[in-house]
Amino acid sequence: MPEQTPNSNSAEKSRSIMSVQTVRVSNAGESQSQSQSESQSQSKTLSQVISEDWLSVEAPLEIYLREPAKTIAVTMRTPGNDEDLALGFLFSEGVISNIEQILQVESLGQDSIAISLKYPDKVNLDALSLERHSYVSSSCGVCGKKSIDTAKTQSLVQPLSKKVSAELLYELPKTLQAQQPDFGSTGGIHASALFDLQGRLLAVREDVGRHNALDKLIGDRLKQDLLPLEDTILLLSGRASFELLQKAAKAGIALVASVGAPSSLAYETARACNITLVGFLRQSRFNVYCGDGIAQQATANASAETSTSASASSSASANTNNTLEANMTE
């Protein structure tokens, strides 16, 4: 098997974050006792300190086909792993189905990727253009059903060779966090991570766009000719949307876990494609929305805990949502 490279190329890190000067504002009397603070609340002044902060870079990337000569997408992304992003995008959109269809991938400066296909005359770009650039309301039930049917038809998902334990799942967010250098610096970037069924990290990609992070991850696996991704676990650092489940199904990922919540369409897509969908994954708990990829003992314990501490769980869920707000919004 090719050498695994869990993290992004460190040489690209300088392009993915930038330093800015900020004015940090806080209450001047924060260290005072509560009684002192309350008595002086009317006269409290604000402290302003000049400090340095780091931001995730967001910049356009053009994905260009050599033949037919055509720009097929311009996506706002975090620079880094751009070739992986372009390849993952082409795969996810159905332009290619394997790496053998790629003749060459070239970087044209920092914000453009050119791709040459072996069989350009067999690519249906009209469907791609219509799908990516037409507006569809998220409340359109007919459109949602059509999207799920398409995802089911294109799905490469196969059943897991073994079920995954709760203990293994609990450790995944901690492993991912240790491999998120840009999130550690900025607090404003998404990640997609791929694990095997033993909990070993295979790859992780970060981007300001959650869909881009997953495209980068899929593109990395495609480049190594490792698709479909059987017997793997996908961990999402935020919530699970329909588009992410659609990409996971097409890549053959049978277990998707997210730190946040899934959407209704993501749930329906997971059910249609036989994907085990886990949400609100924490160090000691998670929700299983559908699928049979989790060991039965784990789901039984989770159900018993939920039934005996419903009110506590509700409160914890509210606190969790507040804690994860920065990582679950784009």
**How does 144-165 read in b/e, with b if 16+ C-beta sit within 10 Å?**
beebbebbbeebbbeebeebbe
Task: Copy the structure tokens of residue 140.
Answer: 């359109």
CA dihedral of 251, 300, 286, 179, whole degrees rounded to 10:
-60
Query: 54 pairs with which residues across the strands?
Result: 19
**Hunting for tokens 């060779």 — which residue is that?**
161
Tell me which residues are annotated as active site: 140
Residue among 318, 187, 300 at smallest CA distance from 261: 318
User: CA 82 to CA 110: how far, in whole Å?
Assistant: 9
Contacts of 158 (CB under 8 A, 6+ apart): 228, 230, 252, 254
Question: Which of these, 44, 43, 42, lies nearest to 29 by C-alpha position?
Answer: 44
d(CA 257, CA 165): 13
Beta strand 70-77 with 102-107: parallel, antiparallel or unpaired?
A: unpaired
Amino acid identity at 185: S
Question: Which two three-digit tokens encode residue 251?
Answer: 């890549």
Measured CA to CA, the distance from residue 281 to residue 297 in angstroms comes to 17
Task: List Cα–Cα distances, 189 to 81, 115, 206, 234, in angstroms.
Answer: 15, 27, 7, 17
